[in-house]
Amino acid sequence: MIRVALPAHLRTLARVSGEVQIDVPGRVSQRTVLDALEASYPMLRGTIRGHVTKERRAFVRFFACGEDLSHALPDTPLPEAVATGDEPFVVLGAMAGG
Amino acid sequence: MRGVRILVGTRKGAFVLASDGKRKRWKVSEPLFAGWEVYHLKGSPADPNRLYASQSTSWFGQLIQRSNDGGRSWEPVGNEFAYDGVPGTHQWYDGTPHPWEFARVWHLEPSLTDPDALYAGVEDAALFRSLDGGKTWQELPGLRGHGTGASWQPGAGGLCLHTILVDPSDARRIFVAISAAGAFRSEDAGKSWQPINRGLRSEQIPNPTAEVGHCVHRIAMHRSRPKVLFMQKHWDVMRSDDGGDSWREVSGNLPSDFGFPIEVHTHEPDTIYVVPIKSDSEHFPPEGKLRVYRSRTGGNEWEPLTKGLPQRNCYVNVLRDAAAVDSLDPCGVYFGTTGGQVYASADAGDSWAAIAKNLPPVLSVEVQTLP
């Protein structure tokens, strides 16, 4: 299972507490993780990436294993530790004030 | 006893203020959607338990929330606002073409008769409609596509469609207003549109009497007289007696004719309210005195309403969607400020009380009069 850590506002929206765990068949990438996340929690559609473009929203960031993966291509494999469930894929709001 | 529910949208969440028909004691809810901007909430006139809310942040985008129990519980519904076809461009601030980009929903206007039907006015300016309780949204593209859309420019707050009025006598007739494009009317339920800005004069655009380009801040009507429209423009308070075909200024003796909201008394079609603001750059009341102005003559002759409102050192603003009236008798009048106060009058504006004092900046105020 893939662990995904969501920011507080999206945990509230998805009505979950703590990390969520999702099954991602096949290659583990940003795209496949987010596809599986949105399939399990449809209320998150449009909040992390665009409905149609599937591009990351400007003020959303993706971290994993201490690295900022926000600018990686969406089909790039995520680190092995994320694929094995040892580390979470972290979605967070950018430190952009407000 | 009848009751009143005030739906308040703020920069950091929404609040529900509730009272019985006396409107003396108010209960303020805990924040809903805390931390999110709530540009607007509105109840269905056909079912007071059906509420809709526009919730957004720059981080996580747009959500639409729906309640079926008067606001006790909410569920997110559809949030995909896709422009019809190839969106094209409008003008950017510097006059260059800029692609139409969805930013947020400014205003939700539920149908007068069907709780599942509602319109949404969005930034960048367009009109969307849902017929399934907000699950799915379709643009009514005739508005952007009627011919002048490519020339629309954003106002300081963005290119926003912020006012939607449906004629109670004929739901096919819809009025919308866009900053800074102007007012538009449809006679066929939103399929086709025409600008209705004749008589407006805006010195801030190259041709002050242009067909479009006017920064209309708000339009209001009385349900018994839908062809009479009142407008608060960037500057000037205006009136139309022919459904927007022509407008005349009724600013009269106002201390400033700049402002944002305009409202009509529920039982007196010629009694209207505005909140004068000093200027387009000094967004606070003239002389630091928060005054609502009331005209009982449909404009031109205005009286200041000050009892209970701060008359010194007050430098808040009242935004375009942040005023409303109830349908009790005497008519209740309500408005919220960027300082986080919500003021209420249970006597048609003669006297006021702050019923909430320390909310986040208020973006919108709507009222439900409950049976």
Does a structural domain hold residue B146? Answer: yes
Question: Percentages helix, strand, coil for chain A, rounded to the nearest 5?
Answer: 25, 25, 50
Q: Decide which of 4.10.410.60, 3.30.413.10, 3.10.20.30, 3.90.1150.10 is the CATH code for A2-93.
A: 3.10.20.30
Strand B182-186 versus strand B174-179 pairing type: antiparallel
- Share of residues in chain B with pLDDT > 90 (%): 96
Q: Can you give the pLDDT at residue B371?
A: 87
> A60 and B59 in contact by Cβ < 8 A?
yes
Number of domains in chain B: 1
Q: What residue in B sits closest to A43 (Cα-Cα)?
A: B76
> A60 and B60 in contact by Cβ < 8 A?
yes
Chain A residues closer than 8 Å to B62 by CB? 46
Q: Can you give the pLDDT at residue B210?
A: 95
Lookup result for tokens 């963005």: B158
Taking residues B182-188, report their average pLDDT.
98
3-state SS, residue A69: coil
Q: Which amino acid is at B192?
A: S
Does a structural domain hold residue B314? Answer: yes
Q: Can you give the pLDDT at residue B225?
A: 97
Instruction: Inform me whether the pLDDT recorded for B47 exceeds 90.
Output: yes
Q: What is the CATH number of the domain that holds B249?
A: 2.130.10.10
Instruction: Inform me whether the pLDDT recorded for B324 exceeds 80.
Output: yes
Instruction: Inform me whether the pLDDT recorded for B23 exceeds 70.
Output: yes
Task: Give chain B's mean pLDDT.
Answer: 97
Structure confidence at residue B1 as a pLDDT band (50, 70, 90): low
Q: What residue in B sits closest to A45 (Cα-Cα)?
A: B79
Does a structural domain hold residue B42? Answer: yes
> B60 and A10 in contact by Cβ < 8 A?
yes
The tokens describing B49, both together, are 């338990």
Q: What residue in A sits closest to B60 (Cα-Cα)?
A: A47
Q: Which of A45, A52, A60 sits opposite B82 (nearest CB)?
A: A52
Chain A residues closer than 8 Å to B76 by CB? 13, 43
Q: What residue in B sits closest to A8 (Cα-Cα)?
A: B35
Closest CA to B184 of B146, B220, B156: B146
Strand B229-233 versus strand B237-240 pairing type: antiparallel
3-state SS, residue A21: strand
Instruction: Inform me whether the pLDDT recorded for B68 exceeds 80.
Output: yes
Q: Can you give the pLDDT at residue A96?
A: 76
- Share of residues in chain A with pLDDT > 90 (%): 95
Probe site for chain B from A6, A11, A12, A13 (most B CB atoms < 10 A): A13
A48 to chain B, any CB pair closer than 8 A? The answer is yes
CB < 8 Å & 24+ apart, contacts of B206-212: B211/B148, B211/B182, B212/B148, B212/B151, B212/B152, B212/B181, B212/B182
Chain A residues closer than 8 Å to B31 by CB? none
A60 to chain B, any CB pair closer than 8 A? The answer is yes
Distance between CA atoms of A9 and B57, rounded to whole angstroms? 10
> By residue range, what is the domain housing residue B112?
35-337
Instruction: Inform me whether the pLDDT recorded for B316 exceeds 80.
Output: yes
Probe site for chain B from A6, A9, A38 (most B CB atoms < 10 A): A9
Instruction: Inform me whether the pLDDT recorded for B156 exceeds 80.
Output: yes
Return the H-helix or E-strand segment holding B281: none
Taking residues B72-95, report their average pLDDT.
95
**In contact, B228 and B222? CB cutoff 8 Å:** yes
Taking residues B320-349, report their average pLDDT.
98
Q: Any idea what DSSP says for residue B211?
A: S
Instruction: Inform me whether the pLDDT recorded for A97 exceeds 70.
Output: no
Q: Can you give the pLDDT at residue B109?
A: 98
Strand B27-28 versus strand B13-20 pairing type: antiparallel
pLDDT tens figures, A42-84: 999 999 999 999 999 999 999 999 999 999 999 999 999 999 9
Chain B residues closer than 8 Å to A51 by CB? 79-80, 82
Q: What residue in A sits closest to B80 (Cα-Cα)?
A: A51
Instruction: Inform me whether the pLDDT recorded for B296 exceeds 60.
Output: yes
Helix ranges (H only) for chain B are: none
3-state SS, residue A18: coil
Does a structural domain hold residue B345? Answer: no
Does a structural domain hold residue B17? Answer: no
Q: Can you give the pLDDT at residue A98?
A: 55
> B36 and A59 in contact by Cβ < 8 A?
no
Closest CA to B319 of B63, B100, B9: B9
A16 to chain B, any CB pair closer than 8 A? The answer is no
A57 to chain B, any CB pair closer than 8 A? The answer is yes
pLDDT tens figures, B218-269: 999 999 999 999 999 999 999 999 999 999 999 999 999 999 999 999 999 9
A77 to chain B, any CB pair closer than 8 A? The answer is no
Q: Which amino acid is at B140?
A: L
Distance between CA atoms of A21 and A1, rounded to whole angstroms? 6
pLDDT tens figures, A31-52: 999 999 999 999 999 999 999 9
**In contact, B25 and B347? CB cutoff 8 Å:** no
Lookup result for tokens 């900046």: B361
Chain B residues closer than 8 Å to A48 by CB? 60
Closest CA to B241 of B222, B255, B261, B227: B227
A97 to chain B, any CB pair closer than 8 A? The answer is no
> A93 and B36 in contact by Cβ < 8 A?
no
CA B261 to chain centre: 7
Distance between CA atoms of B87 and B145, rounded to whole angstroms? 9
Describe the strand order of the beta sheet including B353-356 as a list of residue ranges.
Answer: B323-325, B333-336, B342-345, B353-356
Q: Can you give the pLDDT at residue B262?
A: 98
Probe site for chain A from B30, B32, B36, B59 (most A CB atoms < 10 A): B59
ipTM, 2 decimals? 0.94
Q: How far is B89 from chain A (nearest CA, A)?
A: 18
Q: What residue in A sits closest to B78 (Cα-Cα)?
A: A43
Distance between CA atoms of B234 and B236, rounded to whole angstroms? 7
